[in-house]
Amino acid sequence: MKRLFDIVLIIVALPLLFPVLGLIALLVKVNLGSPVIFRQARSGLNGETFEMVKFRTMSDVKDEQGNLLQDELRLTKFGRFLRSTSLDELPELWNVLKGEMSLVGPRPLLTDYLPFYSEEQRRRHEVRPGVTGWAQVNGRNAISWEDRLTLDVWYVDNQSLWLDIKIIFLTLKKILVREGVSPQDQEIMQRFDDYIKGK
């Protein structure tokens, strides 16, 4: 039922999504160059690796030695806009159609984090990752890693079609007010593995 809900909702929205996707792709090309799409390995259902796709939000600015600068320095004003509106996430609908993701579920995180989860936190991989999720509508990136992962596991234990519908509507509200996009004291949320190592 959840899978059918995902596919039907995307198909119904396609007439509206295609022009938006095309416009954003053009703007990314103009502002940031190629490639327009950012690809990265993420952990999905049962911890299996898949390639998640997003619109690119960072430049390729490098230091004198030819190394890419830190993420905070490469995130452009245009990239911040894409992130604050979650428009950079729209290509993930392709991952949903492929069955690698769902519209709602725990956000897919970097594969580097797998060794650092507790047994309870690892339960977030019992369902497909989502474009949005319970943690995203309850603080997004502005809450701690512990709270974020606890909310992910709560979703696993309480998932239902009605909860998914609620999360989708709450997500649209969050996007409109651009709430909880970044931690209050930093531009980009700290990596989970760095957080665990620093405890």
Q: Is 50 exposed, middle or buried, given 0-12, 13-18 or 19+ CB atoms closer than 10 A?
A: buried
Which residues, given as ranges, of the chain have pLDDT below 70?
66, 178-188, 199
**Cα gap 29→189, rounded to integer Å:** 25
Residue 185 token pair:
């004291």
Classified as helix, coil or strand, 196 is helix
Q: Where are the domains of the chain?
A: 2-197
What is residue 179's predicted lDDT score, i.e. its pLDDT? 61
CB 119, CB 137: distance < 8 Å: no
What is residue 75's predicted lDDT score, i.e. its pLDDT? 85
The one-character DSSP state at 123 is G
